[in-house]
Amino acid sequence: MSTGKEGPTSMPDTSQHKALLQLISEGDENAFRSFFHAWQGRLFHYIRTIIKSPQVAEEVVMDVLTKCWLGRDLLPRIDNLEGFMFRIAYHRAIDFLRAANRDPKLVDLLMEQIEMADASAADNRVISKEYDQKLREAIGLLSPQRRKVYLLSRENGLSHKEIASRLGLSKHTVSNHITESQRFIQQYLAEHLNLVLVFLLFYK
């Protein structure tokens, strides 16, 4: 799917989309294809305001549109199609964020985005402070050597080569320390923070 490069496509007027929904409910694949292309870009851009990951946004778009096809019998009964589509998209995006607390792969994906967020722009200082506190706790639980390597990388901005030279380690060892540290920290934050609140805070 190339939603990231597609702009919004205009929807037909009320009478036209009613006719389109009727055709879709009867299993007309061409009608659904038109519906799909009309909503694909709009939903993608909307979901990106909730979930910044393009990859995840595309998955949510596909999920929403697939559900529309599977539940096509009900489409002609919808009076406010736009409200219906955006409401479903919103709930599916929130469902994804909630699921992240239970799926390590989703945690990794969200944490990659959260790490790039600008905490200074957050309005809710309580959650921001809690995030920083838990992050410090996680770093403090690392082994002394691993913690030193991680902080030299993240806070001092040293390259793997520079860290290896300073500590007398191989680049492979440094890389391994950083990878394992990130994995531990992400898991710790997933277990001790509500990622839904944190993600919405940083990306609202």
The CATH number of the domain where 69 resides is what?
1.10.1740.10
Distance CA 136, CA 142 (A): 10
The reported pLDDT for the residue numbered 120 is 41
Judgement on whether residues 117 and 197 belong to the same structural domain of the protein: yes
The reported pLDDT for the residue numbered 204 is 43
**CA distances (Å), 112 to each of 15, 66, 191, 197, in order?**
44, 28, 16, 16
The reported pLDDT for the residue numbered 193 is 63
Judgement on whether residues 120 and 184 belong to the same structural domain of the protein: yes
How many CB atoms neighbour CB 22 within 10 A? 14
Judgement on whether residues 14 and 79 belong to the same structural domain of the protein: yes
Judgement on whether residues 95 and 17 belong to the same structural domain of the protein: yes
- Provide the residue range defining the domain that includes 84: 3-100
The CATH number of the domain where 197 resides is what?
1.10.10.10
The reported pLDDT for the residue numbered 7 is 41
**CA distances (Å), 201 to each of 8, 93, 117, 125, 204, in order?**
26, 15, 10, 9, 6
Judgement on whether residues 95 and 111 belong to the same structural domain of the protein: no
Beta strands in the chain (DSSP E): none
The reported pLDDT for the residue numbered 149 is 95
Judgement on whether residues 125 and 190 belong to the same structural domain of the protein: yes
Domain count, the chain: 2
The reported pLDDT for the residue numbered 80 is 83
The reported pLDDT for the residue numbered 142 is 94
Last residue of a domain, one of 85, 100, 115: 100
R_g over Cα of the chain: 22
Last residue of a domain, one of 42, 71, 100: 100
The reported pLDDT for the residue numbered 101 is 56
Our CA angle for 119, 122, 126, nearest 5°, is 95
Judgement on whether residues 135 and 91 belong to the same structural domain of the protein: no
Judgement on whether residues 85 and 139 belong to the same structural domain of the protein: no
Each of the 204 residues of the chain gets a pLDDT tens digit; together they read 334 434 444 444 566 778 899 999 999 999 999 999 999 999 998 888 777 778 888 888 998 999 899 999 988 888 888 888 988 888 888 777 776 555 555 556 555 554 444 444 444 454 556 667 888 899 999 999 999 999 999 888 889 999 999 999 999 999 999 999 988 887 787 677 655 555 544 444
